[in-house]
Chain A
Amino acid sequence: DGGITQSPKYLFRKEGQNVTLSCEQNLNHDAMYWYRQDPGQGLRLIYYSQIVNDFQKGDIAEGYSVSREKKESFPLTVTSAQKNPTAFYLCASSGRKLFFGSGTQLSVL
């Protein structure tokens, strides 16, 4: 059945390490998004992509990077430059509505 798959569910990052969060969708959506949720706060947009091989920065892109080589996939890399990476990361895709994956909880060791 169609949906958005995020992996892993939980991820731990050591200081100075880059980590990559996976997001795959089989909804045939052109547009994909990465949001971050911190406790007690709303979701904030990190990056988005409207089409393959193209992406734009959202409101909080510093310390993150993305790629969009395939329509189905939109991985997010949290680089060592992101000084406060602990958060719940949500991937989404949109046709006429915005659908979210189940999220990845990233924590720092």
Chain B
Amino acid sequence: DQQVKQNSPSLSVQEGRISILNCDYTNSMFDYFLWYKKYPAEGPTFLISISSIKDKNEDGRFTVFLNKSAKHLSLHIVPSQPGDSAVYFCAASARSTDSWGKLQFGAGTQVVVTP
């Protein structure tokens, strides 16, 4: 069963506007959440993360929000730029397990930023 879900397979947004990507999880043991960006035929690159002790983490144009009670997190990209067009994966980990690099990934959201 899928423990991390990204229910929107695609998102189209105009350049300069806000992109909001959503992610839901079911496993209450998850305590560390990450977003990765991926271009075709390349490996994912780390974007931003958040620990369960926080509800917000910001890094430049990227902000991740965590709502533990709803088991929901979101990634905001402001302002969106053409180079942001990529697939974005949400991932979760239970750092208390034997290897926190054992991530559970969502199916990804394809973001297209239009001029």
Give which listed residue, B41, B99, B102, contacts A103 with CB less than 8 A. B41
- The interface residues of chain B lying within 8 Å CB-to-CB of A41 are 107-108
Give which listed residue, A90, A92, A105, contacts B101 with CB less than 8 A. A92
How many A-B residue pairs lie within 8 Å, measured between CB atoms? 67
Known: A40-B9, A42-B4, A42-B89. A48 touches B102 (CB 8 A): yes
Q: Tell me, rounded to whole Å, the shortest Cβ–Cβ distance linking B35 to chain A.
A: 12
Q: Which of A13-61 contact B (CB under 8 A)?
A: 31, 33, 35, 40-45, 48, 50, 56, 58
Are A42 and B108 within 8 A (Cβ)?
A: yes
- The interface residues of chain B lying within 8 Å CB-to-CB of A48 are 99, 101-102
Cα separation A73 to B53 with both chains bound (whole Å): 35
Interface window among A64-72, A78-86, A93-101: A93-101
Are A43 and B105 within 8 A (Cβ)?
A: yes
**Pairs across A and B, CB under 8 Å, 17 listed:** A31-B101, A40-B108, A41-B107, A42-B6, A42-B105, A43-B89, A43-B105, A48-B99, A48-B101, A48-B102, A50-B99, A58-B102, A90-B44, A98-B34, A98-B46, A102-B41, A103-B41
Q: Residues of A within 8 Å of B, CB-based: how many?
A: 29
- Chain A residues touching B, majority SS: strand
Cα separation A64 to B111 with both chains bound (whole Å): 33
Cα separation A105 to B40 with both chains bound (whole Å): 11
Are A94 and B101 within 8 A (Cβ)?
A: yes
- Chain B interface residue count: which class? 20 to 34
B103 within 8 A of A: yes
Are A50 and B98 within 8 A (Cβ)?
A: yes
Known: A40-B107, A42-B4, A42-B106. A102 touches B101 (CB 8 A): no
Are A100 and B43 within 8 A (Cβ)?
A: yes
